[in-house]
Structure 1
Amino acid sequence: MNLFQLRAFDAVAREGSFTRAAGRLCISQPAVTGHIKALEERYDLVLFRRTARAAELTPQGRALAELTGPLFGLVEQAEDLLEANRTLVSGRVEIAVDSPHIVMPLLARLRARHPGIVVGLILGNAADTREALLSERASVAVLTEAEAHPDLHLAQIAVSRICAVVPRGHPLADRETLDRAELDGAAMVLREPTSVTRRTFDRACRAGGVAPTVLMELDSREAVIEAAAAGIGIGIVSSLECGADTRIAAIPIAGADLSNRHAIACLARRRNLRLIRAVFGLATETDEAAR
């Protein structure tokens, strides 16, 4: 069965004219006539009665049109859907992040600019986020301290500082910055050793000869903040993760090696897709607005 012939038949059945069908399909009228003739000859039937004014369906033609009408109606719906996605009227994008805080300003801009786009947010640690992107479960990811990879396209969007978190009323709460040496021997609650924030902090402590006392290792920044707010120990989080929690104070720790770079990423072969380009553009706007 030749779908080009069926498409031509359906167009003539809808338009009642070979000429108008040709215009609908953006092909020549002889091409439409040739498709219909080939279809009729192959199946040994007559689908239209040609009159001076119109092409009228025969009983066999009407029976076939009852099938092709819904078939190519669905094709047109699919074309409408794809065109809407191409023009960013609608669509869906999966974004993987290791912290919701950094991505929310981006999502707010995406919602304002393209309200028909639905976002699926995939939360995980840094390793989970990278894997979600490389395995194509996510189209876009926000990565912390991302290493160059031949399959990835990266653009830096933010830099965060490593902060000490203490409860309000703590002797350090009113400080604008801390020196890492002040944390030598301090009781602390930290993320798990695989956390990017924890690795950055540990590396800086080793470089400075600082040895804090680790009381707890927790698997989420929320748990670290709760433990710090309860006064169990000084917590360590990124400056982008503290939010507006009035129970705590987040004090940046001085030192160029106590910061992290955050990048938006996609698979390199998909970087020119319209929706991904739009997300990257809005991420850059968000970064410029923050600065």
Structure 2
Amino acid sequence: MLDPKIRTFLEVAKYKNYTKAAAELNLTQPAVTQHIKKLEEYYDCKLIEIIGKSVHLTLQGESLYTYSNFQRANEKQLINQIKKMETPIKIGATLSIADYYLPSYLSSYLDHYDEMFSLTVRNTKSIIEMLLNNELYCAFLEGIFDKSLFDFHEFCITAFMPVARKGHPLEGVISTLSKIHEYPLILREEGSGTRKIYENYLYQNNDSLSSVSKIYEISSFGVIKKILSTSNAVSFMYKEVAQQEVDRGELCYLDIENFSIQRPLYFIYPTNSLMKEKIELFYHKLLNQVIESQIQI
């Protein structure tokens, strides 16, 4: 860490003005004068001369200025090295969020902050287990979790939609669940958030997956959408996950009678986390960058 008196000396040399240096350092002008005097006493030489109203470095002052600038540059390099050695914030994210929401959030964050983080993508069940085992510090989650175990923020609200190919036999008509279940249904694997949401919806409507004609389990939304576009299968996903394909005329959203699911997406971390302050700071920095980028647009 550079001595505060050296920092003062560098600012005086930079601005060639005691008043401007004092304002930059948030010090009084007498305090700046005192810092320079202490340095001159320590090095036993005159470092600064005032000729008229102008501030000039002596030859000794020039030497100290060169040396101090090298020290300041070395300090910056040291700080950067120390930051690289820090333990990164270990973040988890479920598949939908990682692929279709987080990239815009994290790109804004990376443009403005140096904090290190690592990102792990798993289904909801796995993410929760990793949080409870302290393998992750926090997570972006789409599924259902025990709110007594976690502190959380709702960072987004999104629609959960039935999706099929453009031109599907059910496109443009109001269907029933029983009609939907006549077609092959593609779901994520056991433990995924989107699958759990649909299973809960069926349960609340006195129905279950046993009424579906065929079920295919596929963990990748990219693969699911490709299959949907070339078959009569149906799947359920967040609106944004299929939006690009819908805009291109490859997929469509289906209408189901009395079907309306709006789901919050969550940022969560264990209630008893010792990293709470750091996690909350990370989250608010992340959200602030997104808000600022939206305002600029």
Does the aligned pair in 1 maintain the 2:188–2:217 contact within 8 Å? yes
Q: Which amino acid aligns with 1:154?
A: H
The aligned counterpart of 1:204 is 201
TM-score normalised according to structure 2 size:
0.61
Amino acid at match of 2:45: L
Deviation of 1:213 (Å):
3.8
How much has 1:24 moved relative to structure 2?
A: 4.3
The change in CA–CA distance for 1:220 and 1:242 in structure 2 (over 3 A counts) is same
* Superposed CA offset, 1:32-80 (max 9, x none): 222122222233333234555444423221111123346669999xxxx
Residue identity matched to 2:280 = R
User: Using the alignment, how far apart are the partners of 1:210 and 1:2 within structure 2?
Assistant: 67
Question: CA offset at residue 220 of structure 1?
Answer: 1.8
Where structure 1 has 5 or more consecutive residues not aligned to the other structure, the ranges are 77-93, 286-291
* 1:188 maps onto 2:185 in alignment: yes
Q: Mapping of 1:127-138 within 5 angstroms?
A: 127=124, 135=136
Cα distance in 1, alignment partners of residues 153 and 40 from structure 2:
56
| Equivalent residue letter for 2:261 | S
User: Which residue identity is paired with 1:246?
Assistant: G
Cα shift at 1:96: 6.0
SS at match of 2:254: strand
Secondary structure at the counterpart of residue 208 of structure 1: coil
CA contact (8 A) 1:161 1:252 kept: no
Q: Which residue identity lines up with residue 224 of structure 1 in the other structure?
A: I
Q: TM-score, normalised by structure 1?
A: 0.62
Distance 1:230 1:62, change over 3 A: same
Residue 192 of structure 1 deviates from its aligned partner by 1.4
Give identity over the alignment, percent.
18
RMSD in angstroms over aligned alpha carbons?
4.7
The equivalent of 2:263 in structure 1 is: 261
Structure 1 residues 269 and 149: CA distance shift in structure 2, 3 A: farther
The corresponding residue for 1:99 is 96
Task: State the secondary structure of the residue aligned to 1:203.
Answer: helix
Deviations along 1:64-103, one digit per CA (max 9) or x if unpaired, are 1123346669999xxxxxxxxxxxxxxxxx9967437964
Partner of 2:170: 172
Gaps of 5+ in 2: 77-90, 269-275
The answer to whether the 8 A contact 1:145-1:262 is kept is no
Deviations 1:240-271 (A, max 9, x none): 43321534443233456x72512364777338
- The residue matched to 1:8 in structure 2 has which SS? helix
Report which stretch shifted further, 39-48 or 272-281. 272-281
